[in-house]
Amino acid sequence: MGADPRRGGRRGALTAFALLGCAGVLAGCASMPDSGDIHAVKASQRADSQVRVYAVPPRKGATPSEIVTGFLEAMTSDDSNFATARTYLTPETSQKWRPEASTTVLSAAPDPGQASLGSRDNPGMDYQLVGKQIATVDSQHAYQPVTPTDYRRTIHLSQQSGPDGKEWRIDNLQPGLVLGASDFQRNYLSVNKYYFASGRNVLVADPVYIRQRLDPVTRMDPVTQSVKALLDGPTNWLKPVVESPLPTGTALKEGTKSLTFDDRNGLKVPLNEKASNVGRPQCMKMAAQILFTLRELSSTRVEQVELQRANGSQLCVLNSGQAEGYAQDHVSGRPINQYFVDSKNRLALLAGGAKDISVPENVLGPFGSGGLPISVVGVARDERTAAAVSKDYSHLYVSSIIADGELGGAVVQSRGNIPANRLSAPSWDGRGDLWVADRDPDHPALLRLVGGAGRPQIVKIVPGLDGERIEALKVSADGVRIALLLTKDGKTTLKIGRVERQGPKDNQVVSVAELRPAAPQMETVTAVSWAGPSRLVVVGKESGGVQQVRYMQTDGSTSDTNVLPGLNRVSAVAASDDETRPLVAFSEEDGIVRLPAGANWQTMVKNGSSPVYPG
């Protein structure tokens, strides 16, 4: 297998790009690769990020159809301020058009269809752009997926007087860009911005999309675009649960278009006057946000960030080692072991640090001794404690896994009539709290136990579930997001919720707000696990398709390169927040298997179930 698909989603974005030239077609473009013949590239033909598209203006006497087609092609280019695209518009429409306002993403390039005559009051020609909308990217660069929906918008053309006589031009269109999925993937790059979880020194990823190369409107390179997006603040969805030490109005120094690394992989970031008086602790946190944001963007590791005042003097310097103190796992350390339930319903572990597949060993305590047959488990991130559900899914227990001892009483009990209507697998967040769902149709509940002990607290979901039942859940390491598998009418979908906390720390009211779809293109989802700061590994299938194991961003975006090697009848999957650790899954045909980087699936344990990493 070639490049590891788990590592290719964000890195390597700053590599050199092959040029394209335009020749012999109205608004099509020709690629100029390192070898091979020159050929025309139609919009949405492919998602090759090394291809650049240069649009050409309309020819003299272009027909209405050619104007529409040429404009659609020109929207896929990197022209400064979309200057060529604007030549297809009337001067008044060009002034009003704001391509940066939003981007509508269709499954394929928009189809202009057949022309129709305008009305008596608005003569000219109408073209309806038709397609299947799959997402929108808003002015904050946030990707918002939708269940594939019919898209239909009208472009109106009229004849304008010019030096060469009457010419057709577009005089009415929707704001923003309309792109097919492959053009979107070719032009845009997913980047994580980072902000602090409210009240905590732990960074939270906020994924956005920036331009792969120079932004046509701002003319900023990808590094500068990313820093600007960070300084602009968190996206609206994440904003209620994060904070930033940046003073209001902080921005790059006026005129900054490019930020470059020095020969020691350090970056100097000049800020405006709003940041000139920040204290050192505040400045260091600001620098950590920038360093984490940029370290996934460049193929070269960012070693240092220096923030500068508007007059060029130094505010502070932060190196990569200092920044690690703000990582998601700095509190509990990096988990290295993989855990599973063996054939005798005991909790066992496989040493995660071993290069070769190791011999499993049972943990200490009642979960490893077999005194309590168990079904599914969740291991705390410090790997000292675990939560396990009894074999009949009716009771949840918490116990040490590093020392022998007696099993205490159940911390949660379900009254569901069958195992499928009882407790879900438990999950631990980065704060050390334990989460579980009671799937009893008569008493459904999402429950949280502070520190894994005490009386379970009911977590309210706002605005509520529309007849959906929680089948499974996974809480992020930062503790501010939760992935939920929700079942309704026989279909299970994946949604991401924002974990909000109100009140004092010793008596917080916790709720999950604003659920949004994370895999709308999948008809049903079988299993999910967090696989990094803003990434999930998902098992599911699209309508009419076969089961897939694939990586997806928490904003619902994905690409074909994130589909993993085939594996049959997968019912559980586990990934580590440390992306160097292999993916682990349970296949009803192959047992517990793992996927190391650059390899294929390997059987670890033939007889076992419920594989998990800590979390």
The pLDDT score that the predictor gives to residue 447 is 98
Listed as ranges, residues in the chain with pLDDT below 70 are: 1-52, 298-300, 328-335, 352-356, 560-561
- The residue type found at 81 is N
Q: Which residue has 């299938």 as its token pair?
A: 541
* Type and span of the H or E element at 368: helix 366-369
Instruction: Characterize 292-312 residue by residue with b for buried, 16 or more Cβ atoms within 10 angstroms of its Cβ, and e for exposed.
Output: bbbbbbbeeebbbbbbbbeee
The pLDDT score that the predictor gives to residue 151 is 96
Q: Write the DSSP assignment of 39-69 as a string of letters.
A: EEE-TTS---TT------PPPTT--HHHHHH
The pLDDT score that the predictor gives to residue 1 is 37
The pLDDT score that the predictor gives to residue 310 is 93
Decide: residue 408, CB within 10 A, 0-12 exposed, 13-18 middle, 19+ buried: exposed
The pLDDT score that the predictor gives to residue 356 is 62
Tell me whether residue 371 is in a domain.
yes
Contact 357, 596 (CB under 8 A): no
Q: Write the DSSP assignment of 228-252 as a string of letters.
A: HHHHT---TTTGGGEE--SPTT--B
Nearest to 70 by CA among 84, 81, 80, 82: 84
As a whole number of angstroms, the distance between CA 167 and CA 160 comes to: 5
Contact 137, 178 (CB under 8 A): no
The pLDDT score that the predictor gives to residue 354 is 54
Contact 601, 590 (CB under 8 A): yes
Tell me whether residue 75 is in a domain.
no
Contact 530, 477 (CB under 8 A): yes
Strand intervals (E) in 503-547: 509-517, 522-530, 535-542
Tell me whether residue 460 is in a domain.
yes
The pLDDT score that the predictor gives to residue 560 is 65
Q: Find the farthest-apart pair of alpha carbons in the chain and give their distance in angstroms, rounded.
A: 92
Between the two ends of the chain, the Cα-to-Cα distance in Å is 29
Q: Write the DSSP assignment of 110-132 as a string of letters.
A: PB---EEE--SSS-SEEEEEEEE
Count structural domains, the chain: 1
Over its C-alpha atoms, the chain yields an Rg (Å, rounded) of 27
As a whole number of angstroms, the distance between CA 228 and CA 223 comes to: 9
Which residues partner with 387 through β-bridges? Answer: 378, 398
Decide: residue 359, CB within 10 A, 0-12 exposed, 13-18 middle, 19+ buried: exposed
The pLDDT score that the predictor gives to residue 30 is 36
Query: What are the angstrom distances between the C-alpha of 570 and each of 187, 297, 337?
Result: 34, 32, 21
> Quick one: residue 24, left, alpha or beta (phi over 0 = left, psi -120 to 50 = alpha)?
left
Tell me whether residue 182 is in a domain.
no
As a whole number of angstroms, the distance between CA 445 and CA 438 comes to: 5
Q: Which domain holds residue 581?
A: 338-612
Decide: residue 81, CB within 10 A, 0-12 exposed, 13-18 middle, 19+ buried: middle
Tell me whether residue 463 is in a domain.
yes
Structure tokens at 476: 């992020």
Sheet holding 266-270, edge to edge: 266-270, 304-308, 314-319
Give Cα 252 distance to the centre of its chain.
Answer: 26
184-231 pLDDT tens trace: 999 999 999 999 999 999 999 999 999 998 999 999 999 999 999 999
Tell me whether residue 519 is in a domain.
yes
What mean pLDDT value characterizes the chain? 87
The pLDDT score that the predictor gives to residue 359 is 86
Query: What are the angstrom distances between the C-alpha of 427 and each of 32, 43, 240, 450, 597?
Result: 51, 44, 23, 12, 26
As a whole number of angstroms, the distance between CA 43 and CA 21 comes to: 15
Tell me whether residue 332 is in a domain.
no
The pLDDT score that the predictor gives to residue 15 is 32
CATH of the domain at 518: 2.120.10.30
Q: Are strands 535-542 and 445-449 parallel, antiparallel or unpaired?
A: unpaired
Tell me whether residue 543 is in a domain.
yes
- The residue type found at 126 is D
176-195 pLDDT tens trace: 999 999 999 999 999 999 99
- The residue type found at 30 is A
